[in-house]
Amino acid sequence: MTDHSELADAAAKTALSGAEDVTWNLADLYAAPNDPALDRDLDAADRAADALAEKYRGRVAGLDAAGLREMLVAYETLRERAEKVGNYAYLVWAADTSAPAHGALLQKATERGARLEQKLVFLELELAATADEIAAVWLADPALSCYRHWLELVRRFRAHMLTEPEEKIFSEKSVTGRNAWGRFFDEIHGASRYRLDGQELTRDQALHRLYSPDRGTRQRAAEAVTAGLSELRRTTTFVFNTILADKASDDTLRRYPGWISARNMANEVDDRTVDALVEAVTARYDIVARYYRLKRRLLGLDALYDYDRYAPLPAADHHYTWDAARRLVLHAYEKFHPHLAEIASLFFERRWIDAPSRPGKMGGAFSASTVPSVHPYVLMNYEAKVRDVMTLAHELGHGVHQKLAGVQGLLQAGTPLTTAETASVFGEMLVFQDLTALETDPQVRLAMLTTKLEDSFATCFRQVTMNRFEHAIHTARRDEGELTTDRFSELWMRTQRAMFGDSVTLTDNYSIWWSYVPHFIRTPGYVYAYAFGELLVLALYARYRRNGAGFADDYIAMLTAGGSNWPHVIVKPLGVDLTDPAFWNEGLGILADLVAEAEGLAGG
């Protein structure tokens, strides 16, 4: 037995993952949903906002650097106090979306947050409207160095800001508009159950069956998911149409030239850079088709259906207990840089992770940064498969990044989506390389490689196909009016088939699978950031392997920088030029090389 196999727990014959009791402790935020400190902090933030408005409204442009710093310190402090409440409410709700009390707390935090935003909207409007010559003096003053980039971003959006009364209306209506529809979408999907082999499963539990080595199980799982999504199709279609119409209205009122423009600005990239990324990825769909033709041969199938895509090779059928996953991830992080493992270990030791899948819990996984004065929390639905180990590595990458960047303060800790996926995907790569380095059996190595390739395809190519789907539905909604379920499904299948070509046969059942993707609802335009992060990490990892001296320290410095500068500036010390359109082809070439490696291990 290899070292790698020894890390797979002997409990593989059971359904237990070892994560059943791994629940987070949110006491570092608040003691309980009825903690009086929640209302105290909201009230204190309101009073501070009133005081801030009384002191500075109409006077921002006249402040010198010291005065502006004083105002921003007060603003950041009250924002952190209020956002801490919102973070706690969201995490409590995500852990159990079925509890009415949790939904009520989330709604309360949302409504109070909107009220606070209305009181403070003057501040960013006045900063954006200030004359360039005054802003130049601010930006050059060392007293404002810790807010410089945030000020640059605020001023970047000035052409798309409205008047103060209009901005207040936007904030107020968002509570019962887009935010409410997003919560409704999450709750109906969180509450849905999928009947499979006599069991009532959550959607994530049903989707996990697609990784079964048994083809019949995979097919039944796909049919169960399709049946469950079909029952929700009328509701989901209405929610999608409403969100798309709301986005079109916002873009028109704010004078954005296209549906993706606001997202690109928030991501701190221009439209041309994103277009170059999308064009580069779509031009290499041949890599995907080439791989799945290989997988069809490896599985001995005449046709590879959509429910076969994630079928494991026999040598990959390992069961990883929670403890094994923890050891694997921390070991890989430690090898790269001890500080990464030191921070990641805190998530386990101090109960910053909620791991098991259970009814009512939000599906998927995320790392919530919360506020710099506290720490991030990770949510997972751990099922003891190798992909769950990679998800753990991914979310801990986010968590470490968020913890390190906390030194920048609330206003500059957060990163744009384009670089937010860097640490997460890099963490996956570290664990993958560690696993394969321990393995000596060529068939197991091949199985690991196919798993990695499928994850990379899901992160890069699939996310770009979803970007193409988003582009299609936003455009169609604006040109054609309200869309039917069939129209959504038609656009979904068209964009998915473009990637697979003839390598995967997409069944009619698959046509409804657009309807559970939360990013389309919560963060329109988000998905291409995954491809951005994947290709960036492939290029970074190649540089690390070629010349590791000093790379890890530079990498830690990049994470610590958070959102304190433009993405292309932050990654430049690592040898990356994000402004070069040819950059994307480097990462795509690495994926093509990995497919060739898999073909070699498979015997040509």
Alpha-carbon gap, residue 98 to 119, rounded angstroms: 32
Give the pLDDT confidence score for residue 604 in this predicted structure. Answer: 58
Say if residue 315's pLDDT is above 80.
Answer: no
Share of the chain above pLDDT 90, in %: 74
**Residue 220 near residue 195, CB atoms below 8 Å:** no
pLDDT in tens, 507-531: 999 999 999 999 999 899 989 988 9
| pTM summary value | 0.84
Place of tokens 């109960």: 351
Token duo for residue 416: 């744009």
Alpha-carbon gap, residue 604 to 598, rounded angstroms: 8
Give the pLDDT confidence score for residue 11 in this predicted structure. Answer: 36
Give the pLDDT confidence score for residue 576 in this predicted structure. Answer: 85
**Residue 357 near residue 382, CB atoms below 8 Å:** yes
Helix, strand, or coil (residue 353): strand
Q: How deeply is 10 buried, as exposed, middle or buried, from its count of CB atoms within 10 A (0-12, 13-18, 19+)? A: exposed
Residue 158 DSSP symbol: G
**Residue 45 near residue 82, CB atoms below 8 Å:** yes
Say if residue 420's pLDDT is above 50.
Answer: yes
pLDDT in tens, 202-235: 998 999 899 999 999 999 999 999 999 999 999 9
Give the pLDDT confidence score for residue 317 in this predicted structure. Answer: 66
pLDDT in tens, 165-209: 888 888 888 888 888 999 899 989 988 999 999 999 999 899 989
pLDDT in tens, 347-375: 999 999 999 999 889 988 999 999 999 99
**Residue 418 near residue 584, CB atoms below 8 Å:** no
Query: Which residue type, as a one-letter code, is found at position 223?
Result: E
Q: Which residues contact 580 (CB under 8 A, 6 or more apart)?
A: none
Q: Which residues contact 335 (CB under 8 A, 6 or more apart)?
A: 430, 434
- 468 or 572: which carries more pLDDT confidence? 468
Give the pLDDT confidence score for residue 549 in this predicted structure. Answer: 76
Helix, strand, or coil (residue 103): helix
Helix axes 386-405, 422-438, angle to 10 degrees: 140
Instruction: Output the average pLDDT for the chain.
Output: 92
**Residue ranges covered by each domain of the chain:** 31-176
Alpha-carbon gap, residue 315 to 300, rounded angstroms: 15
Say which range, 68-72, 334-338, 540-544, has the weakest mean pLDDT: 540-544
Query: Which residue type, as a one-letter code, is found at position 503?
Result: S
Say if residue 6's pLDDT is above 60.
Answer: no
Give the pLDDT confidence score for residue 122 in this predicted structure. Answer: 95
**Residue 526 near residue 470, CB atoms below 8 Å:** no
Give the pLDDT confidence score for residue 10 in this predicted structure. Answer: 36
Mean pLDDT of 275-281: 92
Alpha-carbon gap, residue 105 to 99, rounded angstroms: 10
Mean pLDDT of 128-156: 96
pLDDT in tens, 10-20: 333 345 889 99
Give the pLDDT confidence score for residue 3 in this predicted structure. Answer: 42
Helix, strand, or coil (residue 196): strand
Share of the chain above pLDDT 70, in %: 97
pLDDT in tens, 46-99: 999 999 999 999 999 999 999 999 999 999 999 999 999 999 999 999 999 999
Mean pLDDT of 157-167: 90
Say if residue 9's pLDDT is above 50.
Answer: no
Backbone angles phi, psi at 116, to 5 degrees: -65, -40
Say if residue 344's pLDDT is above 60.
Answer: yes
Give the pLDDT confidence score for residue 20 in this predicted structure. Answer: 93
Q: Give the count of beta carbons closer than 10 Å to the beta carbon of residue 271.
A: 13
Place of tokens 């052409």: 159
- 484 or 545: which carries more pLDDT confidence? 484
Q: Which residues contact 531 (CB under 8 A, 6 or more apart)?
A: 277, 281, 459, 460, 461, 463, 464, 467
- What topology does CATH give the domain 31-176? Butyryl-CoA Dehydrogenase, subunit A; domain 3 (1.20.140)
pLDDT in tens, 582-599: 888 889 999 999 999 999
